[in-house]
Structure 1
Amino acid sequence: MSKSIEVPISGMSCAACAVSVESMLKETEGIQSATVNYANQSAIITLENEGVDLSVAKKNIQSIGYDLLININNQEDLEAIKSAELSLLKRNTLYSGLLALPVFLIGMFWMNFPYANIIMWTLTTPILAVFGRSFFINSVKQGKIGNANMDTLVALSTGVAYLYSSFNTFFPHWLESRGIEPHVYFEAAAVIIFFILLGRLMESRAKAGTSEALKNLIGLQPTDLIVIRDGEPIKMNVADVQAGETILVKPGQKIPLDGILTEGQSYVDESMLTGEPIALDKNIGDNVFAGTINQAGSFKFKSNKSKSDTLLSSIIARVKQAQGSKAPIQKTVDKVTGIFVPAVLAIAVITFIIWSLSGTEDATLRGMLSAITVLVIACPCALGLATPTAIMVGIGKAASKGILIKDAESLETGKKIDTLILDKTGTITEGKPGVKEVLWKSGIDSKALASIFYALEEKSEHPLAAAVTEHFAEEKTSIDLAEFSSFTGKGVLGKYADKTYYIGNLKWLESLGINIDKTLAQTAENILDNGDIVIYLAEDNQLVGVVSIADKVRETSKVAISKLRKMGIEVHMLTGDQKKTAASIAKKVGIDHFQSGMLPQDKGEYIKKLQQKGHRVAMTGDGINDSEALVLADLGIAMGAGTDIAMETAQVTLMHSDLMAISELLKLSKETVTTIRQNLFWAFIYNIIGIPIAAGILYPISGFLLNPMIAGSAMALSSLSVVGNSLRLKYS
């Protein structure tokens, strides 16, 4: 019976690497199929049966420069390996940059400096032999299986430039005796290695958020719980508990598994699932979910799912699967490189052969120099700079506006967005309940009552009590209640100056015989119709006021949404809140499409349906409940005031939590992608024009033969033009 497993892979540095690994896996005996994902550095392998030994596959993968991590059993070990790889890449980038800088300065400006060639050779040698050796090792391993990638091009261009320059450094008379100036190109070799390493470091940092988000999600799962067996509490590991057990949860604890409440009552914070800031009243028969937080009383529940089957576990699995579906913008460059490298090699060889057979004076020498010139001028420096320089400038410009962008893919995708999904709570609204207004019965001393009700709510454990005390804080005076009682799920009462005061829901007050003022009751009904929450205030036997509580709409939300719609963006709102509230908020901010009562998986399915219709979807949210949707969307945008997990799973974070920044983001996306494409165009055009000239195509016509030194300068000029074009973006 076949079996599918996911196995991490280390050492992949480009999309072409994933193709090589996948090809090798598919050719391994016992493996039915394999899909390698470069974005999350792993492979989904389908084995012909459970008994297949992957050690053979591991050895095959190692032979081409990568590793199949078959012995990694937990996220912590995998993180340690990735951290070590990133540290090594940082070290190599830093040291190669420090050594490349003086080589560049000497090679470009101080060529007549005493012992200049020896100094450059001394500094360049460790760059290639130590900090950039992976390029040469990987290119050899790729060559063994008939493949070529960016490593091959880097190794060829830098290797040829280094060897030719080294020969001219130690044996300059060989060329001088033939009337040829023995130029060196150490700066080209050193700078190429540094810039390619820098580009890979940027990409690795961008991808680091993927595993960090998963680690934070996994951290929401409690590791221990208390099981009740034969009436006795027993502390156990969550992984050892199966469905059907009775579990005790104390105040402040995270609920460890999904289940149904069987004894007790409490308020539970389910914001990680629904995004709504108000804790829910949980009673016997209600569902509770793993990772949510018990706020008030203790209770017992019967688990109906094991750890691997909880709603939180499914969110983790969905986020991981969705993240794995991504692919970086650099894949286009890698694919072209796969064709470009063998083409350059072929041109260099053909150039040498044609020159050698041409019968001209020093034909073999001229052929060798022309072939070297082809390889030097075809170096990937401009190609390697094209994307990262535009990214650096674009991301820097965005950061100055409070928009943090993770990677190039986000910039490319932003240009194509036609539909924007907005979470309600914390995105369109401020994300916390507050008192909108307090309506008092006419003819009463509201200031004195406000102080009494402040004293009552100060002692209350109800999730909305803080909103009321915050509202009444300015009018509070020191009041000592003679008596205070709390009735869970109903309200609170207290006595002061021989009078009894109540705060609670209407049903409870009616059950106590409180006279309900018709005017206030009608006002409360109107408030409820708008989707807001109402708390009722009573003195002795009469209703004296109602408090309207709601999550306030951000000041800029309506203007921002209007601006996006003018840009041709279709705006939708998805919320876990009730329909009345959703409809009210949508109407206030000008949104025509909205859905209420949405769980995390519902948001994900909604996005998938839009994508199936051909829409390019951006999702903006701030909570854990939005994490799946943020990753499934073509572009995930997190609010800076939201959870760490939302910011880790999203590709973009709005630090000021202002929706106005989204239109800025989409505009900057178009400008940056245009710059990247211009850079790639010029990088390739430079090679298309330069390589034939380097090969000597103009020699039969005009007698012009491109000097390798001029080729090196042209290569540097192409790099500068790419950098200059990218910097232009900063001021656009």
Structure 2
Amino acid sequence: MAREIDLKIGGMTCASCVSRVERALKTVPGVLSAAVNLATERAHVSALAGAAELPALIAAVEQAGYQAEPVGEATPDMADREAEARQAEIISLKRAAIVAAAGALPLFLVEMGRHFIPGVHHWLEATIGEQPWRLTSFVLTALVLFGPGLRFFRKGVPNLIRRTPDMNSLVVLGTSAAFAYSAVATFAPQLLPAGADHVYYEAAAVIVTLILLGRLFEAQAKGRTSEAIKRLMTLQAKTARVVRDGEEQEIAIAEVVAGDILAVRPGERIAVDGEVVEGASFVDESMITGEPIPVEKATGATVVGGTVNKTGAFRFRATKVGAETMLAQIVRM
């Protein structure tokens, strides 16, 4: 019999990271399938019961160079923490992108200008001079690479050492090659063939800036996803009215178990998924179907947690609670 496991994955930056994490999870004995979503940073694993224990899955992901932790039951607090972490990431990337752009922009304007506008080249020779400009370019590029661009080296170099290069590794190789060649052309041009002492500082700085901008846009898109999840979590009822020993008791939703009989009054939000056993009403299921017209519910009909009871009162038997409800599954997607 198969069981489902959800993990939160950290450190992924590109599609190759997704495939690497999936391969790592599939190497764990007992794993039937593994699917990783880059946008939500989640992994869904299907494994044989009694096999592929959680510590083994986490160890496999960490060995591949990423972080993993179990996904707990979706709660508003969890959504708040994820939203805060995402906002902190956006602020960090925005700051890094601004600093990188401040260093890359003058390099780009001058180097491209001297290539396409002869006057810029003559102005540079007459005012700053070729060698002083190269030294200035060296300093600006070093600040970009080893300031905001250091994040690429921290992830890319270890992956190169493990012989599992990713997007960060490609950025490191490309920018390092351009920077190293330009440094030789600046400080030891005699080591290069005649006429080959060109510099490519602007290429290294602009690559880092553009990749950072891409990461910023990606983080903002993920942030909107987190906000959507947070809004979904507000649809979940905090308490439920359970019928026990013939009396209605209001308890926390976490205490509801499958098989409990729950009572719902007009205007209340349905706590968990279940099947109507007594009474009838109309339920607003627009959060699930998008249909604004309330749906009639009578004995035998299914109800979904998070939807709103409109007119009548009824009782239903809980069939899915906690992480098994439809709302929780939508949040996990």
TM over 0.5, yes or no?
yes
Give the drift of 1:188.
0.8
Aligned residue in 1 for 2:100: 96
Q: SS at the partner of 1:12?
A: coil
Trace 1:94-493 onto structure 2 (pairs within 5 A).
94-109=98-113, 111-112=124-125, 114=128, 115-169=132-186, 171-172=187-188, 174=190, 179-180=194-195, 182-230=197-245, 232-257=247-272, 258-260=274-276, 262=278, 267-273=282-288, 275-279=290-294, 288-296=303-311, 299-308=313-322, 313-314=325-326, 317=329, 320-321=332-333
Measure, in 1, the Cα distance between the counterparts of 2:23 and 2:298: 56
Note if contact 1:247-1:303 (Cα within 8 Å) is conserved in structure 2.
Answer: yes
Measure, in 2, the Cα distance between the counterparts of 1:68 and 1:308: 22
Say if 1:304 and 1:85 are closer, same or farther in 2 by CA, change over 3 A: same
Measure, in 2, the Cα distance between the counterparts of 1:205 and 1:145: 30
Give the drift of 1:187.
0.7
Gaps in structure 1 of 5+ consecutive residues: 322-732
Give the drift of 1:61.
3.7
Say if 1:46 and 1:225 are closer, same or farther in 2 by CA, change over 3 A: closer
TM-score normalized by the length of structure 1:
0.38
Note if contact 1:36-1:42 (Cα within 8 Å) is conserved in structure 2.
Answer: yes
Say if 1:247 and 1:181 are closer, same or farther in 2 by CA, change over 3 A: closer
Measure, in 2, the Cα distance between the counterparts of 1:296 and 1:281: 10
Q: Deviations over 1:655-714 (max 9, x none)?
A: xxxxxxxxxxxxxxxxxxxxxxxxxxxxxxxxxxxxxxxxxxxxxxxxxxxxxxxxxxxx
Measure, in 1, the Cα distance between the counterparts of 2:99 and 2:64: 26
Q: SS at the partner of 1:184?
A: coil
Aligned residue in 2 for 1:42: 42
Note if contact 2:184-2:191 (Cα within 8 Å) is conserved in structure 1.
Answer: no
Asked which structure has the greater CA Rg, the reply is 1
Give the drift of 1:306.
3.5
Say if 1:244 and 1:137 are closer, same or farther in 2 by CA, change over 3 A: closer
Identity, in percent, stands at 35
Give the drift of 1:8.
1.7
Measure, in 2, the Cα distance between the counterparts of 1:48 and 1:307: 23
Measure, in 2, the Cα distance between the counterparts of 1:58 and 1:243: 30
Which amino acid in the other structure matches residue 316 of structure 2?
K
Measure, in 2, the Cα distance between the counterparts of 1:309 and 1:40: 17
Give the drift of 1:28.
4.9
Measure, in 2, the Cα distance between the counterparts of 1:90 and 1:190: 16
TM-score normalized by the length of structure 2:
0.75
Measure, in 1, the Cα distance between the counterparts of 2:295 and 2:3: 42
Measure, in 1, the Cα distance between the counterparts of 2:198 and 2:304: 71
Give the drift of 1:316.
5.2
Measure, in 2, the Cα distance between the counterparts of 1:275 and 1:19: 34
- Aligned-residue Cα RMSD (Å) equals 3.7
Give the drift of 1:233.
3.9
Note if contact 2:8-2:71 (Cα within 8 Å) is conserved in structure 1.
Answer: no
Which amino acid in the other structure matches residue 128 of structure 1?
L
Which amino acid in the other structure matches residue 242 of structure 2?
V
Q: SS at the partner of 1:302?
A: strand
Measure, in 2, the Cα distance between the counterparts of 1:107 and 1:91: 25
Note if contact 1:222-1:291 (Cα within 8 Å) is conserved in structure 2.
Answer: yes
